Structure 1
Amino acid sequence: MSFWENFWEIFWWFFFVYAFIAFLWALFAVFGDLFRDHTLSGWWKVVWVLFLVFVPILSVLVYVIARGKGMAERSMERARAHREASDAYIRSVTAPSPTGEIAKAKALLDSGTISAADYERIKRKALA
């Protein structure tokens, strides 16, 4: 066997492996979207699953063509919700602003929990 015969065999093998992995990714994306879609009734989900099981390649293509726009919208909405949750978490665990620290110290001073010297020290530290 020559190098080029082996090269093309390897090339086609990699191509088919890539195509198979891409198909599996698309299939799992369709299944995920199908079960995340709350507007689709249960019977339609059953029909889609049956088609995806028995005629997978054609069903994936039809699903992406027919419901691709909604699939993208649901994906963007999910990403937005995750980003908002992440931002809210980050805001909740970060250090408070200097104004917030001074306001808390003032409330403690007014309630008599800390002295005026402590309040001034906290204020200086917050402003530094």
Structure 2
Amino acid sequence: MDGYVNLAYDYPVLGAFWTVMWIFLWVMWIFLLFRIIVDIFRDDSMSGWAKTGWLVFTIVLPFLGVFVYVIVRGKDMGRREQEHAKAQLDETNRYIRETLGTTGPASAAEQLAKLSEIRARGDISDEEFRRAKEKILH
């Protein structure tokens, strides 16, 4: 073992701190860059040329492009994210209603009709039917 061997105690704590700090900042930078690229594509108010310009700006000059984008258009990024989340929730709710076959809460008449069908099939007894009917009517 004539060569120099790096041991764990040869790496100072402050050096480890700075390494972790730079890795953290790098990950945050990548996250921010992708978040801005998604926001560029999500914004329906921009034309195709504007989207292309912002995309080229953020790819060719990433630091300057991202900082300028956040300064110029950052205020509405949260609003666009909320609109997207609300649209997804509305679409999910629409799909669930469509799949279940209902568009709103069933009326008492519809509930009684379904209950009568269940009793006619023999799935519930007359006593169970009576209790369920009382629940619906009260």
| Corresponding residue of 2:129 | 122
Instruction: Give, in angstroms, the shift of residue 9 of structure 1.
Output: 0.9
CA displacement 1:29-81 (0-9 Å, x = unmatched): 00000001111111111111111111101111111111112211110111222
- Count of matched residue positions in the alignment of Structure 1 and Structure 2: 121
Runs of 5+ in structure 1 lacking a partner? none
- Tell me, yes or no, if structure 1 residue 73 matches structure 2 residue 83: no
Cα distance change, pair 104–44 in 1 and its aligned pair in 2 (3 A): same
1:62 equivalent among 35, 56, 68:
68
Paired with 1:81 and 1:31, the residues of 2 have a C-alpha distance of 20
Runs of 5+ in structure 2 lacking a partner? 1-6
- One-letter amino acid of the counterpart of residue 78, structure 2: A
| Corresponding residue of 2:19 | 13
Cα distance change, pair 46–97 in 1 and its aligned pair in 2 (3 A): closer
Q: In the alignment, is the contact (CA less than 8 A) between 1:102 and 1:122 conserved in 2?
A: no
- One-letter amino acid of the counterpart of residue 102, structure 1: L
Task: Tell which has more relative contact order, 1 or 2 (C-alpha 8 A, sep 6+).
Answer: 1
CA displacement 1:95-122 (0-9 Å, x = unmatched): x87945324235x49xxx938x967643
Instruction: Give, in angstroms, the shift of residue 24 of structure 1.
Output: 0.5
Aligned-residue CA RMSD (Å): 3.7
TM-score by length of 2: 0.67
Partner of 1:114: helix, strand, or coil? helix
Please state which structure has a larger fraction of its residues in helix.
1
Instruction: Give, in angstroms, the shift of residue 5 of structure 1.
Output: 5.9
- Tell me, yes or no, if structure 1 residue 105 matches structure 2 residue 121: no
Instruction: Give, in angstroms, the shift of residue 84 of structure 1.
Output: 3.1
Q: In the alignment, is the contact (CA less than 8 A) between 1:102 and 1:123 conserved in 2?
A: no
TM-score by length of 1: 0.72
- One-letter amino acid of the counterpart of residue 124, structure 1: R
Fraction of identical pairs, as percent: 28
